[in-house]
Amino acid sequence: MAEIALWNGDICDLEVDAIVSPASTSLWMATGVAGAIKRKGGEAIEFAAVRQGPADLGDAIVTGGGSLAARWVIHAVSIDHARRTDSATIDRAVRNAFARARELGVETLAIPALGTGVGGFPIAEAARVTVAAVRSELAHSPRLIRVTLALRGAVPYEAFRLALAAEMEPRAGISA
């Protein structure tokens, strides 16, 4: 089974096969994690995403990684046009991001907290939903060897650490 790791820092700096970008239905990358990915990886990432839109809530589309270390960006549509989300949407977005990762054959994947920035979704609930979806999807993702939950700041990191402890502590393969 794949290792699940926690990381506190900029997802753009991770050397993984693919990173997940939180996305709205329009796929424009203006703020938060998506904006940081565009700034560091180049506007071509956003242009490639927008050409595939609009996308449905919970969907996930793939673009190249531009000048990022990651080869691919998986845009997980986790907020609607009014910048709202819910646990079911976050769950679908994570699961569809994993589906795209399987299609790409990635071995390493990084996922941020979806819906917690402009979406305003509570971080503890987002952590619980994300960790449960990751755990479930790993059973269907044999090529994945490492999933990094990429958080920024003490509060998100702690929320995901607690969610991992609650969901997976009795199992092997957890690192922080």
CA of 41: how far to CAs of 12, 102, 150, in Å?
8, 22, 17
Maximum CA extent, the chain: 44
Q: Which fold has domain 3-169?
A: Leucine Aminopeptidase, subunit E; domain 1 (3.40.220)
Tell me the per-residue pLDDT of 4-24, one tens digit each, with 9 for 90 and over. Answer: 999 999 999 999 999 999 999
pTM greater than 0.85 (yes/no): yes
Domain positions in the chain are: 3-169
Amino acid sitting at position 117: G
Three-state secondary-structure class, residue 50: helix
Tell me the per-residue pLDDT of 135-164, one tens digit each, with 9 for 90 and over. Answer: 999 999 999 999 999 999 999 999 999 999
CA of 156: how far to CAs of 47, 100, 159, in Å?
29, 25, 5
Work out the angle at residue 114's Cα, subtended by the Cα atoms of residues 108 and 117, and round it to the nearest 5 degrees: 130
